[in-house]
Structure 1
């Protein structure tokens, strides 16, 4: 197929089609309230598999989109979860399942923030309100959940690589199935997406990539690629697709409807469409098209799926489409919590309001980090902060506003974020990389090779460490102790609460070298942050309490890391505090540092005659902080070899932990207070 653009002499027929499509699209509804009662959705209720849509007319498909949008609003109100992106791809999802023969044809979603409509159309409609709940639907596509989920996702920018692998394997086996990859403009900033596109051209693979351009990832999309997409849109033209599959340059219909999205005042020149990035790489490019116009999507994608070689169809959508508050605030409505229970009488309302006024909420750990960042930046002009597209989630909004020249959002590019920090550190400044634990995994080579090997002065603020609840296994930060502590030149801190988090951030910032502070998702214990900022001694643990009689036959050293200190304290009080308690003395130790370990503390406990040692951490047992304790005791402690106290490691077992609330996940792993007590009793017995 030719890659060049053909400017048609007449566009009368396509114009009439566009006019008809616009008239049909005007039937779509916009809602302003999330319904609390399941809405009436007769068309949607008849769709149990995608093939049930085969007989629907275009008008019925538009009605189906309205019903599905209203149903998603209802189910999100029941369960919470990702919101805006799902509302934005409803029309696209319907059209894909209408045109393709899933599950034989492969539909690959990127990240999964936009797959709720897909789940509803593939037999999981009535389960959708259970999403993110224990034993309910997963937050993302998962192969074990449905034959229509072709690839498990959770991290960004993987769909084109996965889809290319499917396409090449199908070609090798002689199958002619369509592979369609849906990727957002934010995910396209991840380098892996470009690696896959480069290879798709090299392999001349039959691959349909649909770029969903909503000018957003979680935050607003930024960078040169985002500007390139804006240029394509602002030109006012599009590369249309002819009946034969040839690119056709024409003016984009209804271009004035989207004036609010323009980033620049001037319109761009037409030739830049011919020079777009995707065409330069070697893809056949069509677009941009209105991603909410079902007739237009039907026309374009029905032809595009037949075009040979790598094809990219560029559509533009509105995040939160069809729900007016989300359209106005796409960042705030990226994800929502479930609707609160309704208060039915005046006395309940007054008591709830009084409780709200009298209760000061505990800070989120991301807020603690954000406060530290602003406080430290005000006194040290060498501080620079980097995030891979997680400004809001990492608590950096205030810092970005007050110190804009010192804030660097590099888009969804974790590997680049780490090496960028390494480069900065060579020039005498102090970069802080704010990153989620699960996403730091993607920058592991750079952390070793570019930061630690060169012993550069870079600090990592690692958010969402431990079990993260409803987002499930894909977002759990339960491997960082193990993959960090084996790296030379790194210091690793694990705070027990908000106050200690603040001061450990300060301690690690002041240290010259590679450091990491690891803290969990959500709110803390309500600990008050003491000022001014303190600098702790690196590698020094703290004894929180000694409970029970010194004459007890058993002496237990309970070595707790991070937020497990509070759990350890409660478990120790239970073990020693009532008539049924075991005859033991418990030393509750806040280890505070994973690397370096406080080995002097371990030797002191052994010198006091401990008979049992237990470690507790919200991390995988295998390779975790408890393993670090074991390694020291077995390899270096002569006292341990003489006395041989019993040792147990309490943590996350060797399996991926399914989604649910954090409390449910802790209970599942035996990391709630009851589970820890049970394991300690087994050790002591």
Structure 2
């Protein structure tokens, strides 16, 4: 009955007949108005009796459903009804995650949300022959977990990503200090701010692309009040298999200009653990650490944590002809390019610009005073990004004749694809770095 009524209600003739009938009833002398009102009440009574979704009907939606989302014929049929219906429509579709494959159907934690190779007969995941370095998400969450053992002010907050952010271990050890607020990024940011006002040390684990949704709360609830919230920005940069909507390339541009914000990104997982320690011991306002999707580099790990002075960069290679300023995932690219350039007798200084905000003003002033040409590299949008910060610094401090070039994500949305292929497509490669630095070094020689 429900399905038949749904078809009737979405048919054009039904709406015409209903409207015409109401007009005719109202024309009946003396009792027309009462008849029309009675008919409307009867109609509403039948709707409540036979049709689900009345909450949405009362809001003015035409409700269609519930529909079995695994029944394509039913889906197509109801989509056809929806196309014929005027006004707002709510199509209620019910699916079962992993339907048709028992291991995925029975999973309650999201392990199968995005997975690698597995055995079809058992559902067991195929482990790599060689143990890979730790995943960035695991490194960050486990460092927070270790620090939480000696600091009961540390709490973890996630907007429905306890598995993706690798917080299961923290949740099992500190269930009373783990808050999964559901798919509500704005609420997650405000909860973090509220906890910070009570002298807690909130760790907000959030993907770069999801943090976009909480921008207003980051600005007004966290930064404006200068609260001690540590944001772990996961999936920063290109994400490969996670898809085009998850490309974490905008966070630098939308966080860098917010007052009180500290923004950093480590070159490897060892520096990453020290940054987590630095962030949770920072007491002067909000601080965010970006880190990429996937695994670390497999570098040796220090056993003791130490703080990294805020706003300090690190020279990885000395050079006199040009300088490359970069951070995070693009540091290996810079070092490889510097090696090639060295063979061409171009000496390049490579700087780990691990603090995107604040900049290392002392080192940057020294580079610009020496008229050293600078190339910035970032796996993020160029507009409003790290390279823009360097240009702004040069202009603000009177270095009007400095040669500064930038490589990063152009003004376009990056589609789904393998990270290396995407980097090749947009020209974010070792070869392009070599080419750009060669041009800068040549300009310096001409000026000399």
Normalised TM-score (structure 2): 0.79
Root-mean-square deviation (Å): 3.3
Q: Does 1:628 align with 2:389?
A: yes
Residues 287-318 of structure 1: CA distance to partner in whole angstroms, max 9, x if unpaired? 65654467877887777877765554544332
Distance 1:291 1:569, change over 3 A: closer
Does the C-alpha gap of structure 1 residues 298 and 526 become closer, same or farther in structure 2, counting only changes over 3 Å?
A: closer
Residue 435 (structure 2) pairs with residue 664 (structure 1): no
- Residue aligning to 1:541: 313
**Residue 503 in 1 paired to residue 274 in 2?**
yes
Aligned to 1:334: 113
Give the C-alpha shift of residue 377 in structure 1: 1.4
Match of residue 248 from structure 1: 49
Which of 240, 248, 252 lines up with 1:481 in the alignment?
252
Q: Structure 1 residue 423: deviation in Å?
A: 1.6
Mean Cα deviation higher: 527-536 or 289-298: 289-298
Alpha-carbon offset, residue 246 of structure 1: 3.4
Quick one: which of 317, 330, 335 aligns to 1:564?
330
2:409 aligned with 1:652 = yes
Structure 2 residue aligned with 1:597? 359
* Distance of 1:452 and 1:332 partners within structure 2: 34
Answer yes or no: is the 8 Å Cα contact 2:230–2:280 preserved in 1: yes
Change (3 A) 1:378 1:557: same
SS of residue in 2 equivalent to 1:584: coil
TM-superposed CA distance for 1:517, in Å, is 0.5
Give the secondary-structure state (helix, strand or coil) at the position aligned to 2:424.
helix
Output one character per residue of 1:470-501: Cα deviation in whole Å (capped at 9) or x when no partner: 44442211111111111111111111111111
For 2:238 and 2:379, locate their aligned partners in 1 and report how far apart those are by CA, in whole Å: 7
2:375, 2:436 within 8 Å by CA — same for their partners in 1?
Answer: no
Give how far 1:457 is off: 1.3
Q: CA deviation at 1:503?
A: 1.1
Deviation at 1:672, TM superposition (A): 2.4
Structure 1 residue 431 corresponds to structure 2 residue 202: yes
- CA separation in 2, counterparts of 1:610 and 1:301? 64
Which of the numbers 558, 564, 587 marks the counterpart of 2:349?
587
Whole-Å separation in 1 of the counterparts to 2:137 and 2:289: 12
* 1:460 counterpart residue number: 231
Separation of aligned partners in 2, 1:294 and 1:614: 53
User: What SS does structure 1 have at the residue aligned with 2:149?
Assistant: helix
With over 3 angstroms needed to count, the CA separation of the structure-2 counterparts of 1:575 and 1:419, relative to structure 1, is same
2:382 and 2:72 map into 1 onto residues whose CA distance is 51
CA distance in 2, matches of 1:561, 1:382: 30
8 Å CA contact retained: 1:561, 1:625 = no
- Aligned position for 1:408: 179
Q: CA deviation at 1:540?
A: 0.7
**Maintained 8 Å contact 2:322/2:440:** no
Q: Any conservation in 2 of the 1:555–1:610 contact (CA below 8 Å)?
A: no
Deviations 1:179-217 (A, max 9, x none): xxxxxxxxxxxxxxxxxxxxxxxxxxxxxxxxxxxxxxx
Change (3 A) 1:281 1:428: farther
Which residue of structure 2 aligns with residue 374 of structure 1?
145
Match of 1:619 among 380, 396, 400: 380
Displacement after TM superposition at 1:655 (Å): 2.0
Counterpart-to-counterpart distance in 1, 2:382 and 2:74: 53
Match of 2:240 in 1: 469
SS at match of 2:176: helix
2: CA distance, partners of 1:305 / 1:464? 38
Distance 1:302 1:603 in 2: 64
Give the Cα–Cα distance (whole angstroms) in 2 for the partners of residues 294 and 604 of structure 1.
Answer: 65
**Count of residues paired in the alignment:** 398
- Structure 1 residues 469 and 296, CA, compared in 2 at 3 Å: closer, same or farther? closer
- Using the alignment, how far apart are the partners of 2:238 and 2:62 within structure 1? 43
Task: Using the TM superposition, give the Cα deviation of residue 678 of structure 1 relative to its aligned residue in structure 2, in angstroms.
Answer: 2.2
Answer yes or no: is 1:316 the counterpart of 2:94: yes
Q: Deviations over 1:21-76 (max 9, x none)?
A: xxxxxxxxxxxxxxxxxxxxxxxxxxxxxxxxxxxxxxxxxxxxxxxxxxxxxxxx
Distance across 2 between alignment mates of 1:323 and 1:333: 11
Relative distance call for 1:310 and 1:649 in structure 2 (3 A) is closer
Q: Which residue of structure 1 aligns with residue 34 of structure 2?
A: none
User: Which whole-Å CA distance do the structure 2 matches of 1:613 and 1:299 have between them?
Assistant: 60
Match of 1:419 in 2: 190
Secondary structure, in 3 states, of the residue corresponding to 1:520? coil
Query: Is the CA contact 1:247–1:285 (under 8 Å) kept in the aligned structure 2?
Result: no
Moved more, 651-660 or 502-511: 651-660
Kindly indicate whether the alpha-carbon contact (under 8 Å) linking 1:304 and 1:311 is maintained by their aligned counterparts in 2: yes
Is there any run of 5+ residues in structure 2 with no aligned partner, and where?
13-42, 120-125, 443-448
For residue 511 of structure 1, report the CA deviation from its aligned partner. Answer: 0.9
- In structure 1, the residue corresponding to 2:214 is in which secondary structure? helix
SS at match of 2:97: coil
1:230-309 alignment, distance < 5 Å = 246-249=47-50, 278=56, 281=59, 283=61, 288=66, 290-292=68-70
Q: Which residue of 2 aligns with 1:679?
A: 436
